[in-house]
Chains A and B, each alone.
Chain A
Amino acid sequence: MKDALGAPQSLLVLGGTSEIALTTARAMVAERVRRVVLAGRPSAALDAAAEQLRGLGATVEVVGFDAAETDDHEKTIDEVFAAGDIDVVLLAFGVLGDQDADEKSPAAAARVAQVNYVGGVSAGLAAANALSRQGHGALAVISSVAGERARKSNFIYGSTKAGLDAFAQGLGDKLHGTGVHVMVVRPGFVRTKMTEGLPDVPLATTPEVVAEAIVKGLRRKSSVVWVPGQFRFVMSALRHVPRPIFRKLNI
Chain B
Amino acid sequence: MSDGPSADARPTARRVSLNGWGRTAPSFADVVRPTNRDQVASALGQRTSRGVIARGLGRSYGDPAQNAGGTVLDMTGLDRILAVDLERGLVTCEAGVSLDRLIELFVPLGFFVPVTPGTRQVTVGGAIGADVHGKNHHADGSFCNHVLSIDMLMADGTERTITPDGDPELFWATAGGMGLTGLILSATIRMTPIETSLASVDTDRTKNLDEAMALMAETDEKYTYTVAWLDCLAKGANLGRCVLTCGEFAALDDLPAKKRRDPLRFRTGSLLTVPDLVPGRLPNKLTMGLFNELWYRKAPKHKVGQLQSITGFFHPLDLVQEWNRVYGRTGFLQYQFVVPFGREDGLVKAVETISAHGAPSSLTVLKRFGPGNAGFLSFPKPGWTLTLDFPTNTPGLARLLKQLDEIVLTNEGRFYLAKDSRMDPADLARMYPRLERFREVRAKVDPDGIFVSDQARRLGL
Contacts and interface: CB of A to CB of B under 8 A. Distances in A.
Would you call the interface of chain A mostly helix, strand, loop, or mixed? loop
Contact of A179 (B24, B28, B333): B28
A9 B458 contact: yes
A6 B333 CA distance: 12
A4 B421 contact: yes
Contacts of A7: 398, 422
Interface in B432-461: 454-455, 457-458
A9 B421 CA distance: 13
B348 interface: no
Contacts of B425: 9, 34
Nearest to A178: B28
Contacts of B70: 135
B68 A1 contact: yes
Given A1-B458, A34-B425, 4 more contacts: A4-B392, A5-B397, A6-B25, A135-B70
B337 to A, nearest CB: 16
B268 interface: no
Contact of A4 (B28, B62, B457): B62
A32 interface: yes
12 contacts: A1-B63, A1-B457, A4-B392, A7-B422, A9-B458, A132-B69, A133-B50, A134-B68, A134-B69, A135-B27, A135-B70, A179-B17
Contacts of A26: none
Would you call the interface of chain B mostly helix, strand, loop, or mixed? loop
A227 B69 CA distance: 33
B331 interface: yes
A9 B68 CA distance: 15
Question: Which of A2, A7, A32, A178 counts the most B-chain CB atoms under 10 A from its CB?
Answer: A2
A136 interface: yes
Nearest to B423: A3
Contact of B69 (A5, A6, A34, A135): A135
Contact of B25 (A2, A134, A178): A2
Contacts of B398: 5, 7
A3 B454 CA distance: 10
A32 to B, nearest CB: 7
Interface in B59-75: 62-63, 67-70
B412 interface: no
B424 interface: yes
Given A133-B69, A135-B27, A5 B458 contact: no
Interface string A135-172: 11000000000000000000000000000000000000
Interface string B30-67: 00000000000000000000100000000000110001
A150 to B, nearest CB: 37
A5 B50 contact: no
Interface string A1-39: 111111101000000000000000000000010100000
Nearest to A31: B398
A34 B122 CA distance: 34
A85 B457 contact: yes
B422 A4 contact: yes
A85 B63 CA distance: 16
Nearest to A82: B49
B250 to A, nearest CB: 40
Question: Which of A5, A32, A34, A134 counts the most B-chain CB atoms under 10 A from its CB?
Answer: A5
Interface in A63-95: 85
A32 B24 contact: no
A206 to B, nearest CB: 24
B430 to A, nearest CB: 16
Nearest to A132: B69
A32 B425 CA distance: 9
A179 B68 contact: yes
A1 B331 contact: no
B403 to A, nearest CB: 14
A2 B455 CA distance: 10
Nearest to B459: A1
B263 interface: no
B29 interface: yes
Nearest to B62: A4
Nearest to B422: A3
A1 B425 CA distance: 11
Contact of B422 (A5, A34, A132, A179): A5
Contacts of A32: 424
Nearest to B456: A1
